[in-house]
Structures are given as C-alpha cells and as structure tokens.
Amino acid sequence: MSSSSPSAPTRRTVVKAAATAAVAVPALLGAASPALAEATAPAFLHGVASGDPLPDGVLLWTRVTPVPEAVPGSGLGPDVRVGWEVAEDRAFARVVASGATTAGAATDHTVKADVRGLRPATAYWFRFTVDGVVSPAARTRTAPAADEAAPGVRFGVVSCANWEAGHFSAYRHLAARADLDAVLHLGDYLYEYASGVYPDAKYTVRAHEPRHETVSLADYRARHGTYKTDPDLRALHAAHPVIAIWDDHEFANDAWTGGAENHTPGAEGAWAARVAAAKQAYFEWMPVRASTEGTVFRRLRFGRLADLHLLDLRSFRSAQARTGSGAVDDPERSITGRAQLDWLKAGLAGSDATWQLVGTSVMISPVAFGALPAHLLAPLAELMGLPKEGLAVNADQWDGYTDDRKELLAHLTARGVRNTVFLTGDIHMAWANDVPVKAATYPLSASAATEFVVTSVTSDNLDDLLHVAPGTLSAVAATAVKAANRHVKWVDMDHHGYGVLDVTAARSQMDYYTVSDKADPDATTAWARSYRTASGTQRVERVYQPVL
C-alpha cells in the first residue's frame, strides 16, 4: 500500500527561462474557454489541477485537446508532447522543477506529473505547455515535513456534486480562500445517471453530457470532461491541491464489489467491465495517486499533527443486506474488506500523530429513527438509503456492516487510540456526532471517536425532495433523529455547502458553510455553525464562531 513516505527525491531538469519568456502567464482562475476548441489547437479546455500533497512533492494534472475533434471519450487526436514546470513565483522567474510527458488517446489525452524534490509546507505555482501554448497557471502546496510539529493544518471538505442539480458555487468560495492546505473531496465527485433522472427533468438546472447513463469507458471519460468544464470546479483545482476518494456514483448507485443497485447485468454488460472502465477514467481525470491495488485507500501525513487515512468503501464491500434480514450483523460481511481494515487498524495504532483523520465516504455513526410523520419519513428514507416503510437501518452505511464497525471501535478503545475524527459525506446533510461504542447506553458509556459529516455541494437534500423552502419541515425530522440518537449533536437536512476543518494540537474544529441557492451560479455563502472536539475528549461541542 502506498503511503505518504516518498521515495528518494529526484530533482527534475530545469527548463531555460527563454523557452517560455514570450508567453504571457494566465491568471490563477482564468481557465481556458471551451470556445477555444473552435479556434485553436492544442488547448487546455479542462483546466489544471494538483493533488495528494507530500512533504517533498505533489501530483500535477491536466488534459490537452490537441485538435478540436479530440473531445473526451472520443479516442481521437494525435499524441502530443506536454511540458510542465513548477516555480516559486507566479511569474515563473524561479522555476525549481520541470519535465515532459506525452498525452495521447490511450489516456484520453490526460497527463500526470508526480513531482518530487520540493520543500515542505511551501506554496508553488505550476503550468503546462504544448507547442508554445501555455495552460492556466495554478497554485499548489506541499505538506509539512513528516517529523515537523506543524502548528496547524486546514482543509476544505466537500462531497456530492451533482451537475444537473445545481451550480458548483461551493467550489468557487473555497477557491477564493487563501488559508487552505488542501481540499478533501469525500466522494460522488460526479454522478452516473442519465439526464433528467436525478433530479427529474423538470427540476434539472443544467444538462450534463453524455445524456445517457455512463456505462462504457467513453461514457465515463465524457462525463468527467463535462464536469471539468465547470468554471467553479476548475477554479477550485487551480487554487488548492485536492485529496479525493470515490463513493458509489463514480461507478453506479449503491455499488458493492459484485454489482450495484443502478446496474442491470446483461442490458448494461458485466459489472466488472463497468467498474474497470469507471476506475480507469477516474484515475485518468483525477489528481489522485492509485495504490498498487488500483484503489484509493491510502495515507497522507501532515507532520506530527495529523495522519489522514483515506478509505475505499466500494471496491471490497459485501452486498448490502436486506433490511430486516439480520444480515447487517453477520461477521462474514464487510464494508472495508479484511486487508483494508487491517491496514487501517495498523495505521491508527502505529501513528505518532496527534490527530487521526479518517476520510470515509459513508457515515460510521449509528442512526436510529424515532416516530416521524409519513410525509417526512419517505424523503428522509430516500436520503438515508432506508426502505420507505421506515425500518431504522441504513444498509449502505456502516450501519449495514456492524461487525466491521464494532471491530474498529473496539480497536480504538483497546489500543488507546485518541483523537480519531471521521470525515464523511454521502447523505446530503451536515452532522456533528460522537461515535459511541454502545449507542444504546450513550452518553453513560464511552465515545470512541467523533464524526463531522458535510452536506452536498448540489445533490438533493430534504427540502429539495419535498420542494419546500429550507427549514419548513426539517426541524421536526431533525428533532426526532436527535431524540433517538443522543450521540448526534446537530443535523442540518436542508442546506448545501461545504466545511472547513481546522486542526491544531489542542482541537479539531469543523466550520459549516452554506450557499444561498444552488440554482444560482452567483450564489453567496454564509457561515452556519461550528463544532469541535478537544484533544483527548472524543466528544463534540458547539463553538459559536468560525476559525478566523
């Protein structure tokens, strides 16, 4: 399994300044316009990105359109030589690393450069060139040195961005912040559905491409390409390194190792072929290092302050249990797979970092439901993955794989692993939870960890499903959830937005921000609430102002 410990650093050959002196440096957020495809080639129509920061390096990404017909997924277009360079300054007067690679149809004309030999905890600028054409310039940042007592680290946290459900204003507001070390994307970076399916056509804000459901490699490539024409998404990637994991919609709804709820064998081919296509497109189009197993579970370190353990909860999981069958407690079933769970346990117990941050695409905290009126139960069941008749178990989350959760929480308790914070997306709501060892006796019994769940960027939540103004009915549902789950300190079922996680030796604090209207491309943002867990407590408490 790959980790944040880099191999021996290698300095790339520095390109002569004269090679690019005549080319103007594009603005940070000024990604190329799609209209350029009609006028010139090559072009950088999908922006540039960086990801997976290490103390001595970072992964750089772009996609080249060498000729106008070489659209994503087409398989058309010649191979082109792509140069890249990293500089200490925006004007690229102090280039510190450079190199070249080839973009071709075999990788959908995407390229990656895994740059090493950089300084820890340092901001850099990078760009790409093809035949004298220069990409937008972008900013990235390396992680603190592995043994450094870093004073703090700050992440933007997002999940669930459905193109057809709204605009990505949350990304724009995160891009405008200059105080982030990276942005953590917890899955559902894109959605696989056909146009007009989710949401229904009459509620669709904008149509994605391709219009049909993504099944083939060409389909997934085209859908990734559509997403990276969004100006707010390009702005996010140009401003911060992104650390991403996948959830189900990068493949198909409610995916597991042998299939998915939204996959029909025969009509849509073999599941293994669809997964292989989706993963290939994902690694081509995302600034993510694949592990040797071809998955996204990996570990990044931010000095002695925090280890970030990133999980893949789709590739190895057993099929979701039928609600009411009792299979949710079957010890033979797993959400992580044996190898990944052992890797996580070893990493948590062996870490010398103050904080253990765990990126998990689905919620680990248990959730039971009190009495709810039928008009609220049905849409809430849809969000939570519950059957419409209201049986209180979410079989797609850790609630559907209780033996894995029990083993992991027992491990944290037995090994004295403190300061574990689960960071979660998936269910289009914001939560602040303690993670109890025994929910039935909480708060008289112990909490093993805490969990911060961020809402969706655009994907439908309770008010969207009910088609009412935010807050109209959700207070009833939230009150019922909190009454039945004393470890849940807060839940917001209505809003869209993002989180900002600020970590210091003393505490980890999540500030929750909401956007004014996901259908408005110029939506504003506002701070909603803040919660923190103090070092050594394993308990969440409300804070009455965000970190400044």
DSSP string across 68-119: TT--TTS--S--EEEEEEEESSTT-SSEEEEEEEEE-GGGTTEEEEEE-SPP
Helices and strands (H and E) in the chain: how many:
10, 24
33 pLDDT more than 60? no
Q: For residues 190 and 11, which has the higher predicted lDDT (pLDDT)?
A: 190
How far apart are the two ends of the chain, measured CA to CA in Å?
A: 37
* Residues 6+ away with beta carbon under 8 Å from 187: 159, 160, 244, 245, 246, 247, 248, 249, 250, 361, 425, 426
Assigned token pair, 97: 């690393």
Tell me the C-alpha distance between 540 and 468, whole Å.
Answer: 30
CA distances from residue 131 to 65, 78, 83, 437 in whole angstroms, order as listed: 12, 13, 9, 59
524 pLDDT more than 60? yes
CB 534 within 8 A of CB 507: yes
Model pLDDT for residues 311-369, shown as the tens digit of each residue: 999 999 999 998 666 788 899 999 999 999 999 999 999 999 999 999 999 999 999 87
Q: What is the mean pLDDT of residues 160-187?
A: 98
What is the identity of the amino acid at 428?
Answer: H
Which option is the CATH number for 17-140: 2.60.40.2140, 2.60.40.1120, 2.60.40.380, 3.40.640.10? Answer: 2.60.40.380
CB 14 within 8 A of CB 20: no
Q: For residues 307 and 464, which has the higher predicted lDDT (pLDDT)?
A: 307
CB 532 within 8 A of CB 510: yes
Model pLDDT for residues 374-418, shown as the tens digit of each residue: 666 667 666 665 544 334 468 899 999 999 999 999 999 999 999
Tell me the C-alpha distance between 28 and 135, whole Å.
Answer: 10
Query: CATH second-level architecture of 154-543?
Result: 4-Layer Sandwich (3.60)
Which regions of the chain carry the CATH code 3.60.21.70?
A: 154-543
Residue 104 sits at the vertex; the CA angle it makes with 239 and 229, to the nearest 5 degrees, is 35
Q: Residue 475: which pLDDT band, with cuts at 50, 70 and 90?
A: confident
Bridge partners for 115 per DSSP: 58
Which regions of the chain carry the CATH code 2.60.40.380?
A: 17-140
Length of the chain: 548
CB 164 within 8 A of CB 207: yes
Model pLDDT for residues 231-267, shown as the tens digit of each residue: 999 999 999 999 999 999 999 999 999 999 999 999 9
Task: Write down the residue that tokens 């209209």 correspond to.
Answer: 35
Residue 416: how many other CB atoms lie within 10 Å: 7
